[in-house]
Structure 1
Amino acid sequence: MSKELVSLQFLRPPPLHNHRPLSTLNLRPKPPQNPIYLRRTTTTPHRSKTSSSDDGIPSNEVKTIAKFKSRHNYIRVIEVSRKSNHPLAGSRLLLLDNPGNIHSISFLLKTLTDSYFDVFATLPPIIPPGPIGILGFGAGSTARLILELYPPEITIHGWEIDPCVIDVGREYFGLSKLERDHKDRIFINIGDALEASVKTGFSGILVDLFSKGSVIKELQDPKVWESLKCRLSKRGRIMVNVGGRCVEAEDSERDGDLVMEETLKAMRRVFGDKLFVLTLGNGNDSSVALTGDLPDLDAWKKRLPRRELSSYVDMWKPYTEFRLS
């Protein structure tokens, strides 16, 4: 009998085939964020020409803590053993939708996640004072980074459509403690994130909105970006997880790259040349978009609270120079 492995692939994940027998776990952060699904080790996975081989770990090093369906999501919480020889070792992951995209990451022994959540955490130094909105709150990975890394004058207003996701965050991801420790800095709203607003306007908006394994369709509509732009304060910025080929959608027609391109095109119609893109994983992982003029990069780096975050600053490219590899 072949040894059962958990296969975690970050660059180019194979497609989901529900008709195959289930016995091996494939993890990919959403985009890190990437989906998780089961597959036999005897099955040869599809690979693109530039993909690397999967990193396998024994399945007994992955533990399922919770698994259930809510009105909006198929929710799973898993832990990867600290003994695992993998970047996700020691992490707890929130997986949503059938493919199992990772929507939140929490490590027991470290703060940073080595994912797009860390990119989100570089936003505060380049926006004016004021509240930050997180649209698509998940279990609170982005909020935790910002609240723990930045001074108390920064406040977070989060929106999540699924109350069960917030419950999971409080139960398994330390969100209750985060709310207690920062009770005057974090405000969680249950409802449609596209209706999010605060009286003063947001100094920054972080957008991480996925449904059924894909960037939501509304974000391919320029009118939605025009509406979000109007909710910014003067010199405010928006940073967006626009996904990419690492995202596994339930609908096979919602190709990650194509959805990302359509989302960026919609943003370009609203923000013009003030649109920049950063891609992780040599073009094979998540892409993040940023609005506004490109800041002074050296000044940006100096204001970051952790040196490790500075590596992302040099990765931004104008949208006009952005090309998929």
Structure 2
Amino acid sequence: MIPHQIQIPIQPLVPYPIQISRLPFHRTTPKPFNFRLSPPKSQPTHQTKTQDDGVPADDVRIIAKFRSRYNYIRVLEVSRKVDHPFAGARLLLLDGPGNIHSISYLFRSLTNTYFDVFATLPPILPPGPIGILGFGAGSAARLILDLYPEAVIHGWELDPSVIKVAREFFALEKLEKSYPDRLFVYVGNALKASLKDGFSGILVDLFSKGSLLSELEDPNTWEKLRQCLRKGGRIMVNVGGSCVEAEDSRRDGKVVMEATLKAMHKVFGKKLYVLSLGNRKDDSLIALTGELPDLDDWKRALPRSLKFYVDMWVPYSG
């Protein structure tokens, strides 16, 4: 049974070639979405049509649903006719609460979620491969490969069933064939990821049972990841927030987020910045390590639709 409320750690992926829009972009502050299933249309409902409203159950098609060794996996498709921000989306849901780990649209690539923020990282990295820890269905990888012709990605995902679903329903297999020398996917523990000459940058998106991995609350984990970087390399992290719903109610999203940021701060000190997605600073945060680069240079290296994220970073204040 699908929960009536499904809240987010998100990830995008499309079963069609992505086209990054170079057209003017309507600047809106990205925010976490609440995905709710409301009663079928035949039943009365008094909800108004906003992004926090429910999607009628008969406007959502379940493509796949099963339990793997690590996850409760669901792939859903939302009707394009429904009046909701998720209209036309294909979603990958993991864990009991049903947090969203991938989202893709047929007619647009940008998601107005943290995946778009992840796609701003390559221009501020030194030359070299990018690691994605918590590959999911490959959302961040697809955006980066399409935007940056020189990008090489190595992604790690613990659950082989997630990769299987990604290949079958999110066109990961096609993506791998399109970029055989630029995309490498591994099944295994992402915290043991390494390359001989190190990573130029690392994207961290590691959740289990609806919560950030507890290892991310340990400064030793961040020190090990820091040592995997090349000189000048950076780490960008989805640290979640109050929008994340864990299977264990004791793993409060806001509390876990704060503990993770404190652990990062012990390793990176003042070279730690955060970007807030949502109306409140604890809704959902992205963290970035390293000195903040020249903002004008950073903007010039980005497509117009991503430039405004550059101005949203602020120093982490603890």
SS in 1 for 2:273: strand
Structure 2 residue aligned with 1:263, among 252, 255, 260? 260
Counterpart of 1:113? 111
Counterpart of 2:7? 28
Counterpart of 2:287? 289
Shift of 1:39: 7.3
Give unmatched runs, 5+ long, in structure 1: 1-21, 43-51
Q: TM-score, normalised by structure 1?
A: 0.85
Counterpart of 2:240? 243
**Post-superposition CA distance 1:193-223 (Å, at most 9, x none):** 0000111110000000000000000000000
Counterpart of 1:308? 305
| CA RMSD, 1 decimal | 2.1
SS in 1 for 2:239: strand
SS in 2 for 1:299: helix
Aligned: 1:100 with 2:98:
yes
Distance 1:137 1:110, change over 3 A: same
Equivalent-residue separation in structure 1 for 2:97 and 2:220 (angstroms): 29
Structure 2 residue aligned with 1:231, among 219, 228, 232? 228
Q: How does 1:82-97 map to 2 (within 5 A)?
A: 82-97=80-95
**Post-superposition CA distance 1:268-310 (Å, at most 9, x none):** 0000000000010122532100000001111111101x21111
Shift of 1:262: 0.1
Distance 1:158 1:253, change over 3 A: same
- Which amino acid in structure 2 is aligned with residue 282 of structure 1? N
User: Is the 2:93–2:99 contact (alpha carbons within 8 Å) kept by the matching residues of 1?
Assistant: yes
Equivalent-residue separation in structure 2 for 1:141 and 1:213 (angstroms): 18
**Post-superposition CA distance 1:93-127 (Å, at most 9, x none):** 10000000001111111111110010000000000
Structure 2 residue aligned with 1:272, among 269, 274, 287? 269
Shift of 1:40: 6.7
SS in 1 for 2:140: helix
Shift of 1:53: 8.6
SS in 2 for 1:229: helix
Query: How many pairs align?
Result: 290
- Which amino acid in structure 1 is aligned with residue 144 of structure 2? I
Equivalent-residue separation in structure 2 for 1:200 and 1:132 (angstroms): 12
Equivalent-residue separation in structure 2 for 1:39 and 1:254 (angstroms): 27
Shift of 1:25: 3.3
| Structure number with higher relative contact order (C-alpha < 8 Å, ≥ 6 residues apart) | 2
SS in 1 for 2:86: coil
SS in 1 for 2:262: helix
Equivalent-residue separation in structure 1 for 2:194 and 2:3 (angstroms): 43
Q: How does 1:1-325 map to 2 (within 5 A)?
A: 25-30=4-9, 54-151=52-149, 153-283=150-280, 285-304=283-302, 306-320=303-317
Equivalent-residue separation in structure 1 for 2:109 and 2:286 (angstroms): 20
**Post-superposition CA distance 1:48-96 (Å, at most 9, x none):** xxxx993133221111100000000000000111112222111111000
User: Is the 1:37–1:99 contact (alpha carbons within 8 Å) kept by the matching residues of 2?
Assistant: no
Give unmatched runs, 5+ long, in structure 2: 12-31, 44-49
- Which amino acid in structure 2 is aligned with residue 265 of structure 1? K
**Post-superposition CA distance 1:145-172 (Å, at most 9, x none):** 0011111x21000000000000000000
User: Is the 1:157–1:186 contact (alpha carbons within 8 Å) kept by the matching residues of 2?
Assistant: yes
User: Is the 2:33–2:51 contact (alpha carbons within 8 Å) kept by the matching residues of 1?
Assistant: no
Shift of 1:248: 0.2
Q: TM-score, normalised by structure 2?
A: 0.86
